[in-house]
Structure 1
Amino acid sequence: MRKLLTVLCCCLVSLQLYAQDVNTDSLLKVLRSELGRTQVYDQQKEKRIAGLRGQLQFASGSPYYTQSRLYEQLFEEYRAYKFDSAFVYVKAMADLAARFGKAQELTRSEIMMGSICLGSGFYKEAFDIINKIDPDTLPAAQKTDYLILRARLNEGIADYDSDAYFSKQYLRQSKADFRRLENVTPSNDFEKTIDLAFIPDSVKARSLTPGYFYRLILGRNLDKHGMAMVATRLSFAYTGQDRIFFLALATLCDVRSSTKETLAVFLLGEELFKQNRTGDAYAFMEEAAHNAKFYGARNRAVQIERMLPLIAGKVINEKQHERDKLLIGFLVFLITAVSLFFALVIYRKQFLRIKANERMIREKNAELEHVNNKLWESSRIKEELIGLFFNTCSSYIETLDRLKITIQHNIKLGKYNEVTRLLNNVHIDKEKGQLYTMLDSVFLTIFPNFITAFNALLKKEDQVWPKSGETLNATLRIFALMRLGVSDVETVARILDYSVSTVYTYKARIKSRALVPANDFEQKIMEIKFIDSQEPVEEMVAI
């Protein structure tokens, strides 16, 4: 199922690339997926190798060409897969050709041996091999292979040395061999078309796009290794995304053909690093390092060892930068959160302080209102009592004045009996009773609910209610004077014409029967509400 999905994905990518030119990211995505299947392709190659080695075991007495063909097939399987094994079989080919006296086959084997020495970085050994061969004695086909090997060898050592002086000499020799090669074996139409990619853009036809060469490669019916070689060559004609595309294509073909020479994947990692795609560059360069170790490519391993630390360092720097950004973001968030928290704490404290102040203001206002009410109540009571006092006094003064005039008149006339009769008509107790009645009326006008409120403080059986025709009785009158602010017992006794002990007795008896504690009873009496009737006392009291 996984294999089918991979094939479908590759087909879709191919169709997409045909439809809309070149899509590098899609190809890189497929390449990453295929790298995960490397083991599958390697197992397929190992299976083919095992089959050939099995055939070789039974071919020891076979004719030369049978043995040589098996050696060559094993060499081709190992050629781009594992250097040591490839060298073993190409050496066996050379020994077999020498034993049977096949000079051309021996030279061919030596050229093949030189090619794998080049791929593995054995430049001296490769030069030793080609220096033993006289190119003028070679047939055209072998001379072509010889010149290609020598040109690539000079190009490879120039790249490996990276020296301003010696590298130029090697490159000059390499270019000379490639020109000589064109005279020996002219390029075919396909090779000539590929060479068009290297024409400067200023004179290159518009149709020669990367997509055109991609379709050309697909339509050529090349094997995977051949497609990788062509794609790698085309990558040198482009830069940027186009170069990455052809290198990714070459690497993809290398993966599927189990090619471990690492050139394409190394160049891909290097190009991605140049374009600051360090994550992908590091992944592909690690793959290149693994392949170089597996194949035994010492030259590539040296190049990778130079590049990999640079890429790894940049990856580490980028990750550190990301961590720093995350840390800065976290610190900013933390500072913001802490600032917000403290702001909320301060706001809450201010809010609670405001609420407390508002509550205090309400309490103070309530206290002030209560005090004002008390002052107003006290003032109102005093006004009523003063009015009652002056009204009563003026009434008594008028009465005394009339009585004085009448008595003086009767004395002058000698009517002493009439004087005696007038004096006998003055009833002090009756006057006191009228005074108490008038006081009760005024009090109940100011405190109309006093009797009810007073009895609410007592048990039902102990409640004190005035008798029919009474306004207040003695008990109620004592506590009425207390409510008016007359708290001194002697003053109460003098006003009501009681003894001090009698007043104490009344008060003690009531407090003992109260529903509230005795110490709180007088306070409860003082809490009985004052009601302003707004009616003049003079209209309510008859003298």
Structure 2
Amino acid sequence: MKRPLKLLFVLLLSTISYAQNMGLYKELDSQILKEKHYDQLKEFRLDSLKFTLLDLRTKGKEWDRYLLYEEIANEYSTYVFDSAMHYYRKAIDLAYRMNHPRAIAQCQSRFGHLLVSVGYYKEAIDTLNKVNILKLQKEDLQDHFSYKVRAYYDLADYVNDGYYSPVYRVQAEAYVDSVLKHQVPNTVQPLITKGLRFLARWQPDSAAHYYAKAGKMPITLHEQAVIHSCLGYIDITENKIISGKEHLIRSAIVDIKTSTKEAMSLMVLARFLFEQGEVDRAYKYILKAKDDAAFFGSMQRKLQVAEIFPAIEGAKLLLEERKKEKAVRYIWVVSALVLVVFVFLLLVYRQLFNLRKIWMIIKQNNHELKLLNNQLNEANKIKERYIGHFFNTGSLFIHKLHDISVALNKVLVANNPQKLKTVLRNINPKKERDQLFHDFDEVFLKLFPTFINEVDNLVEPDRKYVLKPGQLLNTELRILALIRLGVEDNETMSQALGVSINTIYTYKTKAKNKSALSTDEFFKRLKGVKSV
């Protein structure tokens, strides 16, 4: 009885873990879609720091400028390699100009760490060896030795031979002791370093113990990603598939949230999924890892991705080919069925042909109806805007007439000719017409905000419309606006705009002559300008 219960318990745990992984996949895919948002936040932080840097060019601000250089370099260190190197070099140069030994040592140490992360092992070790460790503070000293640990372990893995690699591992072990000797209490780096030592020795249980312990401390998001990545690698190598995937996914999610482009988690996850036969998901993630490597600009990352990418891409192509072959088999089966059915289709061909003709007519009518619908909607929108606006304008005009009428009555009653002249001077038809045109222009441009740009796109580049200060539209553009609204009669336009029919004709011809398009094509495109 105990054995079936135990088996049921194991199956239940597996089901729960699988469901958790699927949930994490969804979260990872969701975060990938938000990648641009996180990158924009990163760019905003960097732009803010660079903007602050511009204010610190005056003499006496060197130390503040140095700190900003280093902060910008740190931001770029997992984002864009070239930019990180550029700002680290600026920080180091400034530290030398200030003759500040601690700043020189600190910045060279962190620059060495950057070089390690991109696989410039010789340059990294040379840079780290130049650091005057006597000038480093305790926490910087701990981090400095941890950079050397990683440099020699990574170099050993890179060389991967029986002669040099053991020597590099011995050197790395010695620097592990240095990290522990100079460790700062309540910091996570000593635990991560111990985990790395046991990982290099391939003592996975001990390594996992220290990484898990580090994960329970107050740590940064980037440190979370590193710990999850290492635990994922250990679990997958130890054939703990579900937990390994979970750690790698969590690491990749954190990398996306922090805009970390030099990360390995997504690439390792893609490789593992490929080995597990999840080709579609592996292909999606390796493409993302490939884009990240190209964005970061590290040749090492590009080579690491290039090592696995062709295999995954080949498997993806093979999978697609098999899908095509399967589809072809289905097509043959369906074709055979079609041939059988074809005999019956001949009997009803005439009816179907007639139905098809009717269907085509209905489809055409539906298409025309849809176009008419769109035009009606646009016309309704235009009518609503203009009727509402000009109803309001008419009301104001009636109020003005009423005021003038009252004023004239008062003048007549008072028999005051001088007052009559004053009233008549206040009546300004030109001003009223200009206001009418301005109101028309304002409402039209709210309906068609891109109208002027669209018209400029129809004319020659050197003949674009230039408006005077305060103008929304000029007479020529107003005529084109009326044409867009469906008013094409010259007489109607002349009455609306208060100009002669010949003037309307002249302006239309002038507008058309500015364009290289034919007359029909010009006015067709003009009428196609979209409203909001």
TM bucket normalised to smaller: 0.5 to 0.7
**Which of the two has higher C-alpha Rg?**
1
Is the 8 Å Cα contact of residues 252 and 265 (structure 2) preserved in structure 1? yes
Change (3 A) 1:329 1:21: closer
Match of 2:20 in 1: 23
Partners of 1:91 and 1:190 in 2: CA distance: 28
Distance 1:122 1:29, change over 3 A: same
Task: Tell me the CA shift for residue 309 of structure 1.
Answer: 0.2
Maintained 8 Å contact 1:64/1:96: yes
Residue 405 of structure 2 is matched in structure 1 by none
| Aligned partner of 1:143 among 141, 144, 151 | 141
Shift of 1:209: 11
Distance 1:21 1:223, change over 3 A: farther
CA deviation map 1:289-323 (0-9, x unaligned): 11111111111111111110011111112222232
- The structure 2 residue matched to 1:50, chosen from 47, 50, 54, is 47
Q: 1:265 touches 1:284 (CA, 8 Å); kept in 2?
A: yes
Q: Distance in 2 between matches of 1:244 and 1:319?
A: 25
Q: Percentage identity across aligned positions?
A: 25
The residue that corresponds to 1:229 in the other structure is 226
The reply to whether residue 69 of structure 1 matches residue 70 of structure 2 is no
In structure 2, the residue matched to 1:255 is 256
Per-residue CA deviations over 1:261-311 (Å, capped at 9, x if unaligned) read 132222222222222212111111111111111111111111111110011
Question: Alpha-carbon deviation of 1:177?
Answer: 2.4
Residues 38, 341 of structure 1: CA spacing in aligned structure 2 closer, same or farther, 3 A cutoff?
A: closer
Give, in angstroms, the shift of residue 136 of structure 1. 7.0
Shift of 1:202: 11
Q: 2:34 aligns with which of 33, 37, 52?
A: 37
Unaligned runs of 5+ in 1: 1-18, 345-543
What amino acid sits opposite 1:41 in the alignment? Y
Structure 2 CA distance, aligned partners of 1:318 and 1:92? 50
Q: Does the CA contact (< 8 Å) of 1:282 and 1:312 recur in 2?
A: yes
Compute the TM-score of the two structures, normalised by the length of structure 1. Answer: 0.52
Q: Do 1:22 and 1:245's aligned partners in 2 also have CA atoms closer than 8 Å? A: no
Q: Offset at 1:54? A: 0.8
Cα pair 2:73 2:85 within 8 Å, conserved:
yes
Q: Secondary structure at the match of 2:261?
A: coil
Task: Compute the TM-score of the two structures, normalised by the length of structure 2.
Answer: 0.53
Q: CA offsets per residue over residues 418-471 of structure 1, 9 Å max, x none?
A: xxxxxxxxxxxxxxxxxxxxxxxxxxxxxxxxxxxxxxxxxxxxxxxxxxxxxx
1:74 to 1:20, Cα distance in 2 relative to 1, 3 A:
same
Give, in whole Å, the separation in 1 of the partners of 2:337 and 2:169: 63
Q: Quote the Cα distance in structure 2 between the aligned partners of 1:132 and 1:202.
A: 34
Q: Distance in 1 between matches of 2:114 and 2:176?
A: 19
Question: 1:10 maps to which residue?
Answer: none
Query: For residues 335-364 of structure 1, what are the alpha-carbon distances to aligned partners after superposition, in whole Å with 9 as ceiling and x for unaligned?
Result: 5776x77999xxxxxxxxxxxxxxxxxxxx
Match of 2:328 in 1: 327
Contact 1:160–1:299 at 8 Å: present in 2 too? no
Deviation, 1:251, is 1.0
Task: Output the CA distance in 1 between the equivalents of 2:67 and 2:342.
Answer: 85
Cα distance 1:189–1:322, how it changes in 2: closer, same or farther (>3 A)? same
Larger RCO, structures 1/2 (Cα 8 Å, 6+ apart): 1
Structure 2's unaligned 5+ residue stretches are 1-15, 345-532
After TM superposition, give the deviation of residue 93 of structure 1 in Å: 1.4
Alpha-carbon separation, structure 1, partners of 2:156 and 2:53: 39
In the TM superposition, residue 133 of structure 1 has moved relative to its aligned partner by: 3.2
Q: Are 2:83 and 1:82 equivalent residues in the alignment?
A: no
How far did residue 324 of structure 1 move? 2.5
Partner residue in 1 for 2:106: 108
The aligned runs of 1:43-442 (5 Å cut-off) are: 43-61=40-58, 62-133=60-131, 135=133, 140-163=138-161, 165-185=163-183, 188=186, 217=215, 220=217, 222-239=219-236, 240-332=241-333, 334=335
Question: CA-to-partner distance for each residue in 1:243-267, whole Å, 9 max, x for gaps?
Answer: 2211111111111111111322222
AA paired with 2:86? V
1: CA distance, partners of 2:304 / 2:161? 14
Residue 20 of structure 1: how far off its partner (Å):
7.4
Shift of 1:127: 2.1
SS of equivalent to 1:121: coil
* Alpha-carbon distance in structure 1 between the residues aligned to 2:203 and 2:324: 43
Counterpart Cα distance in 2 of 1:136 and 1:209: 33
Amino acid at match of 1:54: F
TM-aligned CA distance change 1:253 to 1:310, over 3 Å: same
Letter in 2 for 1:40: H
Instruction: Give, in angstroms, the shift of residue 125 of structure 1.
Output: 1.4
Distance 1:99 1:193, change over 3 A: closer
User: What does 1:525-536 correspond to in 2, within 5 Å?
Assistant: none
- The answer to whether the 8 Å contact 2:56/2:62 transfers is no
